[in-house]
Amino acid sequence: LLLTKGSKSKSISPGSPSEKDSKINVGAVDGGSNLSYQDWIQACQQKRTTAHTERLSSSKTSNNKPPPFNSDTLFLPMVESYATAQTTVATVDVERVVKETEKSGMFAPCMVGQLEGQFLKMAARLFSAKDILDVGTFTGYSAMSFAEGLPRNGTVVTIENDRKTAQIANELFEKSKQAIKISLLIGSATEHMQKLMDEGRQFDIIFLDADKENYKTYYDLAMKGLLRKGGVIMADNTLCSLVYREGDMRRQKLHEFNEYVRNDPRVEQVVLTVREGISIIRPLD
C-alpha cells in the first residue's frame, strides 16, 4: 500500500506494525483529504467492515419470537434529528396537524412525523400513485402527506375508528389545501375495507398504520383485490416488533405479521429503518 500525502510518499508492507500507525496518523492529521478514495478506505474506514458485513445477507430461518432489544428507539443519539434537519420542512397544513394534535392532548407519537411524512409524500410521487388507502388516520399527518404527493385528481381514502380523533382530523382536512383529495371514513377498518372492495375500489398504495394486532387481516384484504395491479402495500411501525417492550402482545403480533409477509410466496418486500420501520410490499408479477 502506498499512502500519498502532498509530495511525500511512504511504502508500507501490509500487516506491518507501521501500517496501523500510518493509518491512524493520516486520519488524525488531515481526515483523509489528500488520499485517493481507495487509500482513504484502507486508512480511515476499516473499523466499519464488521458492521457492514453483517448487513450483506439475511437468514432464511423463521423465529417464533422477535429477538431481545433493549431500546425504545432504533436510532443512536442525533441520527434521526440530523436526518430530519436535512429533510424538506413540512408544509403549513402539516404543521397545523402537529399543533392541533398537541393542543388536543392526543398521543403525539402516533403522528408519522416530518421525516416519514416527507417519505410518504415522495413515495406517492415515486410510485406515480393516484389513489391511496390510509388505514389508520389518527389526526391526519399521513393522509395529508400522501395527498400533497398526489396529482390534482388524486384521492386519499383514510379510515379512523375513534370518532373524537376523526373529528379533529376532519377539521384539519377541511382547512387544508388538500381537502378536495381526502375522504375520511369513520368506523371499523375491516368493515370499510371490505365495503370498498365490494364497490370495486382499488388503490395504488395501501398504507397500514392502525391497530397492530390486525395488520395481517388488513394485509389479506389488500391482497384480495383492494390493491391495484402494480401497487404496493406499506406497513408502518413494523420494527416495533423490536421497540415495544418484551411481553407486549402487539410486539409479538407485529413479529408474526413480519414473518407472515416474509413467507408469503406471492410478494417481495423490504423493511426500511425509517422511524419505527416501514415495510414496502409488492406483489410479484
pLDDT given for residue 72 in this prediction: 85
pLDDT given for residue 53 in this prediction: 64
- Output the tens digit of pLDDT for each of the chain's 285 residues: 344 434 344 444 444 444 444 444 544 445 667 878 788 777 777 777 766 666 666 666 678 889 889 888 888 889 988 999 999 999 999 999 999 889 888 787 788 888 899 999 999 999 999 999 999 999 999 999 999 999 999 999 999 999 999 999 999 999 999 999 999 999 999 999 999 999 999 999 999 999 999 999 999 999 999 999 999 999 999 999 999 888 889 999 999 999 999 999 999 999 999 989 999 999 998
CA distance 283 to 269: 9
H-helix or E-strand spanning residue 133:
strand 131-135
Tell me, what DSSP letter sits at residue 82? H
pLDDT given for residue 106 in this prediction: 78
Comparing CA positions, the residue from 104, 228, 115, 213 lying closest to residue 161 is: 213
Tell me, what DSSP letter sits at residue 34? T
What percent helix, strand, coil does the chain show, rounded to 5?
45, 20, 35
pLDDT given for residue 61 in this prediction: 67
pLDDT given for residue 31 in this prediction: 66
CA distance 12 to 31: 19
- Grid coordinates belonging to 91: 408544509
Please tell me whether residue 155 adopts helix, strand or coil conformation.
strand
pLDDT given for residue 23 in this prediction: 45
Q: Which residues pair with 134 in a beta bridge?
A: 158, 207
Residues 6+ positions from 136 with CB-CB distance below 8 Å: 142, 159, 160, 189, 207, 208, 209, 210, 211, 236
Pairing of strands 131-135, 155-160: parallel
pTM: 0.84
pLDDT given for residue 158 in this prediction: 97
pLDDT given for residue 59 in this prediction: 66
Comparing CA positions, the residue from 159, 209, 176, 184 lying closest to residue 98 is: 176
pLDDT given for residue 111 in this prediction: 81
pLDDT given for residue 40 in this prediction: 77
